[in-house]
Amino acid sequence: MKLLVIGSGGREHALAWRLAKTPGLQKVFVAPGNAGTARESGLQNVPLSSPEELADFAQRENIRLTVVGPEAPLATGIVNLFLARGLKIFGPTREAAQLESSKDFAKRFMLRHNIPTARFASFTERAAAHAYVDQQGAPIVVKADGLAAGKGVVVATNLAEAHAAIDRMLPPGAQGTALDGSLARVVIEEFLDGEEASFIVMVDGRNALPLASSQDHKRIGDGDTGPNTGGMGAYSPAPVVTPEVHARAMREIILPTVRGMAADGIPYTGFLYAGLMVGKDGSVKTVEFNCRLGDPETQPIMMRLHSDLLNLLEHAVAGRLNLVEASWDRRVALGVVLAAANYPAAPRTGDPISGLPGSSDDSHVFHAGTSEQDGRIVTAGGRVLCVTTLAENVRQAQKRAYDLITRIHFDGMQYRRDIGHRATSR
């Protein structure tokens, strides 16, 4: 029995690592993978990236199931291609992935199906966007419409920041293109006050199975300062997701989304990530949808998962998620991202990495932006590693993770020293 995980980041390393624990499994291929997956027992990297090459490989190797990690292949229709060839794959189709690939699509979908979210307006013209911001005032949120690798959001605390974000996201004359090649567009939203959490579920087209809650840290600096990144660390569970908040998220956001996509003729199958804003009164609103697992949320979530992940995935692709439940380690998992020099603006690559610790039952270093050069592991992306630990509580998990980090070195290494601060300050 062989499986295929598509992607090269920390999320994919964690997925493949967990899948490799499946009893009776022969191998997990990771395409293209990284230096961590290359050295992980039970995993094998394959240097493939195009959808056609990946589908050919899955057929040739008789892959039992393929799991898609990142958003870009989903947005370009890799699931459509695999399904057309009769190959089993877990992820949304290109049409369903618009929940992430177009913020305008997602906001209009939520409005149509009465799913709670921030008020918004969409623009392709600079002048109209600037006028709207002046009318609404600050704070206000400006988002690039297409895929932006987690960095296309500006929470503007003043009008100058909002106008600068519009100028950056909308080229002069509005004749440019977004990062994913589509017509440039910005979505401008009201600022939501509260605490954010990551609420991720598995969906089979009709049923939704919630995974463990988690909380990401998007900004580069301690105390949630500096520019947004793809995520500088995460922990699970998130205390802000109380049983009441969990129930509201399922009732008001997740299940209406699953039903709404089916009603619109675009049934959703795959991981669905709802970024929640939890108000002080326990209300929930949708900040955004992602059509895949979060990164770095996946790393702590996979550390806590006790269930056989392949069994959950196979129930999902068969439309039988209502027949299974996921079981979780009661302990806290926490992951700290080690980022490259100059991240997030212009990450430097090629710096040798030393001092990587071995794995244990309660710690694992998941690789993201790494590669091998002349037998050495070097930096190859913005977010390089995610040091992930399990412990009885957040403070113990923090201590364990930061103790491990003291052994690791690469030039320009940067990381936050307060991952999990919201949980310890409650």
Predicted confidence at residue 149, as pLDDT, reads 54
| Of 125, 126, 129, 124, nearest in space to 140 by CA | 129
Q: Which residues pair with 373 in a beta bridge?
A: 376
| Separation of alpha carbons 397 and 332, rounded Å | 7
Predicted confidence at residue 227, as pLDDT, reads 87
Q: Which residues of 54-83 are buried (b: 16+ CB within 10 A; e: fewer)?
A: bbebbeeeebbbbbbbbbbbbbbbbbbbbe
pTM of the model: 0.93
Question: In the block, which residue shows the tokens 């569970």?
Answer: 237
Per-residue tokens: 97: 């992935």
Predicted confidence at residue 152, as pLDDT, reads 79
Q: Report phi then psi at 202, rounded to 5.
A: -100, 140
Q: Which stretches of the chain drop beneath a pLDDT of 50?
A: 174-180
Predicted confidence at residue 180, as pLDDT, reads 46
Per-residue tokens: 319: 């439309």
| Of 51, 70, 65, 87, nearest in space to 19 by CA | 65
Q: Which residues of 18-45 are buried (b: 16+ CB within 10 A; e: fewer)?
A: bbbebeeeeebbbbbbbbbbbebeebeb
CB 360 within 8 A of CB 388: no
What residues have CB less than 8 Å from 379, skipping those under 6 apart?
A: 340, 347, 348, 349, 350, 351, 353, 369, 370, 410
Predicted confidence at residue 425, as pLDDT, reads 81
